[in-house]
């Protein structure tokens, strides 16, 4: 009977291992794809929608910078125009004047207004001209240069945004990857607990068959086994959703089976062996109990030695600084509107007034070339410029306050990242010994129950403690990996307090 029970247990363990090896392969024959965290990070860098949006922002900022720079260059334009007049006032006047002159002189006036060159130009039915115009700004009071500097600062801020988006994607992929590993581990724990409950039920059934167990013990064992099943099913659902999210981040097919090759922890760590002095009193030293383990502090210090938690290096702070620069340059450009602006223009045209539809030769064209210098001064705008200056000054104030918020948020982020790392490191080191002790306690409880020394209630409680200890250990391992990655990417990550720096609106 024990051999039969052992065979059933081995079969259950093999089935559970198969489920863990391929959680998403149900109903598909596609071979699982091995995926490491490094490969996932590389794939996300080229497939992320957030990074593509950030790159589009850089392209937009580059275009706005080109628009601003164009004000320093000459503006050239060509024109070509063909026109037919259905009714021409000059032709009508010329014809009427010719008729009157002919009638009054009795035909002796040989000079006709129709033969006058000026009359032919204005009275021509057809008009064809080709032109070239150019303009060049000479003085704008610094408005153009300020607009260029603002556009350049906006482009640099957008480039920082790409780095920030890349860091956020790396953190998201890391979190999702370890979430998938965590759900794999939780499914394994739930399966193990269900198998243990099934093993306890069969043990009770065997003892019941020989009359050594009551019906109450049998019912309680069956209820305990059945109560494990909803948690197992829930863990499977969470695992499937975690893998779906990972595929979405990597733009993989929704049914692509994955096998994650990285481990959620670096290596199996055993609980440290500590020589404990014999207990001689029930008094507790509070300082000893509430002190963080020096090993935790040492591990955190090693991670901090390779990380940059400075406020000035944070991407959101740099973007906020660029936002202040943009607002200041826009204010300068707005104030420059109060100064006169000077520009030079020139226009060259070749005009033809053919008798037919089109000119017959180049000799039918006549030149027309003008050159000018213009000065524009806003003498009175009805308060428009004053209002624009006030709005620009308000933008500078807002940008400076956003910078302060970014600096405060960066400081809080750094402290929070260090605190999370310390908490995760302490929880991980504590969970290792707890899980091993819980496993040892369950092994003892199972032997005691099999030998009839303990009760089924004791075994169920010990199993729950083991399940919780293993789940806590897996969760602590996941949190530790994510906390280390967050601290590594901290200089480039957006602020976690909901602050998003802006660079203002380019004019």
Q: Could you read off the pLDDT of 142-186 as tens digits, one per residue?
A: 999 999 999 999 999 999 999 999 999 999 999 999 999 999 999
What's the pLDDT band for 373 if we cut at 50, 70, 90?
A: very high
Is the model's pLDDT at 6 over the cut of 50? no
Nearest residue to 58 (alpha-carbon basis) of 176, 199, 158: 158
d(CA 215, CA 408) in angstroms, rounded, equals 65
Q: What is the dihedral of CA 128, 134, 140, 143, to 10 degrees?
A: 90
- pLDDT of 301: 86
pLDDT digits (tens, 9 = 90+) for 60-102: 999 999 999 998 899 999 999 988 888 777 777 777 776 776 6
Domains identified in the chain and CATH numbers: 42-73+142-269+285-333+384-492 (1.20.1600.10)
What's the pLDDT band for 320 if we cut at 50, 70, 90?
A: very high
- pLDDT of 97: 72
* Dihedral sign from CA coordinates of 476, 477, 479, 484: positive
d(CA 395, CA 326) in angstroms, rounded, equals 9
Q: Which residue has the higher pLDDT, 224 or 171?
A: 171
What's the pLDDT band for 8 if we cut at 50, 70, 90?
A: very low
Both tokens of 87, joined, read 């009714």
What's the average model confidence in pLDDT over 311-335? 93
Which residue do the tokens 């200056």 mark?
389
Q: Which of 51-65, 289-303, 371-385, 427-441 has the lowest mean pLDDT?
A: 289-303
pLDDT digits (tens, 9 = 90+) for 291-318: 777 888 888 888 888 888 888 889 999 9
**Cβ 445 vs Cβ 464: under 8 Å:** no
Both tokens of 107, joined, read 């035909």
pLDDT digits (tens, 9 = 90+) for 465-489: 888 888 888 999 999 999 999 999 9
What's the pLDDT band for 506 if we cut at 50, 70, 90?
A: very low
Q: Which residue has the higher pLDDT, 455 or 136?
A: 136
Residue 149: phi and psi, rounded to 5, are -65, -40
**Cβ 476 vs Cβ 431: under 8 Å:** yes
Q: Which of 234-243, 271-280, 329-338, 371-380 has the lowest mean pLDDT?
A: 271-280
Q: Fill in the DSSP letter of residue 183.
A: H
Residues pairing with 133 in the sheet: 77, 347
What's the average model confidence in pLDDT over 393-417? 92
What's the pLDDT band for 503 if we cut at 50, 70, 90?
A: very low
Mean pLDDT over all residues of the chain?
82
What's the average model confidence in pLDDT over 266-294? 63
d(CA 284, CA 286) in angstroms, rounded, equals 6
pLDDT digits (tens, 9 = 90+) for 106-147: 544 445 555 667 767 777 788 888 999 999 989 888 999 999
What's the pLDDT band for 274 if we cut at 50, 70, 90?
A: low
- pLDDT of 499: 47
- pLDDT of 327: 94
């Amino acid at each position: 009977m024990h051999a039969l029970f052992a065979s059933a247990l081995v079969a259950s363990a093999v089935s559970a291992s198969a489920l863990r090896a391929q959680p998403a392969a149900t109903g598909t024959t596609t071979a699982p794809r091995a995926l490491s965290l490094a490969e996932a990070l590389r794939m996300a860098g080229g497939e992320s929608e957030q990074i593509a949006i950030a790159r589009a922002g850089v392209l937009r900022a580059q275009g706005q910078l080109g628009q601003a720079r164009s004000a320093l260059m000459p503006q050239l334009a060509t024109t070509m125009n063909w026109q037919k007049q259905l009714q021409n006032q000059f032709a009508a006047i010329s014809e009427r004047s010719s008729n009157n002159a002919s009638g009054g002189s009795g035909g002796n006036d040989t000079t006709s207004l129709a033969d006058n060159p000026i009359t032919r130009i204005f009275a021509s039915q057809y008009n064809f001209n080709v032109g070239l115009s150019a303009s060049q700004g000479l003085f704008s009071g610094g408005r153009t240069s300020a607009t260029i500097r603002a556009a350049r600062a906006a482009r640099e801020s957008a480039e920082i945004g790409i780095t920030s988006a890349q860091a956020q994607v790396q953190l998201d992929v890391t979190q999702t990857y370890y979430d998938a590993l965590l759900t794999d581990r939780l499914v394994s724990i739930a399966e193990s607990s269900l198998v243990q409950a099934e093993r306890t039920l069969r043990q009770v059934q065997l003892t019941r068959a020989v009359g050594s167990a009551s019906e109450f013990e049998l019912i309680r064992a069956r209820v305990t086994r059945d109560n494990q099943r909803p948690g197992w099913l829930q863990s499977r659902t969470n695992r499937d959703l975690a893998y779906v999210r990972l595929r979405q981040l990597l733009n993989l097919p929704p049914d692509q089976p994955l096998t994650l090759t990285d481990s959620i922890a670096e290596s199996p760590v055993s609980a440290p062996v500590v020589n404990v002095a014999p207990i001689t009193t029930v008094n507790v030293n509070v300082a000893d109990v509430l002190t963080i383990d020096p090993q935790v502090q040492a591990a955190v210090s090693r991670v901090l030695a390779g990380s940059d938690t400075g406020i000035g290096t944070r991407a959101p702070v740099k973007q906020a600084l660029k936002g202040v620069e943009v607002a200041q340059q826009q204010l300068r450009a707005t104030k420059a509107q109060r100064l006169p602006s000077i520009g030079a223009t020139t226009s060259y045209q070749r005009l033809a007034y053919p008798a037919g539809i089109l000119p017959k030769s180049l000799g039918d064209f006549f030149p027309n070339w003008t050159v000018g210098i213009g000065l524009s001064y806003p003498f009175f705008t009805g308060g428009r410029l004053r209002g624009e200056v006030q709005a620009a000054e308000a933008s500078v104030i807002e940008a400076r306050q956003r910078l302060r918020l970014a600096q405060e948020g960066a400081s809080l982020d750094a402290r929070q990242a260090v605190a999370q790392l310390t908490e995760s490191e302490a929880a991980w080191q504590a969970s290792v010994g707890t899980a091993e002790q819980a496993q040892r306690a369950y092994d003892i409880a199972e032997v005691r129950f099999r030998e009839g020394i303990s009760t089924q209630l004791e075994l169920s409680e010990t199993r729950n403690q083991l399940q919780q200890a293993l789940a806590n250990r897996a969760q602590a391992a996941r949190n530790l990996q994510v906390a280390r990655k967050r601290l590594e990417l901290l200089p480039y990550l957006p602020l976690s307090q909901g602050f998003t720096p802006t660079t203002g609106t380019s004019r």
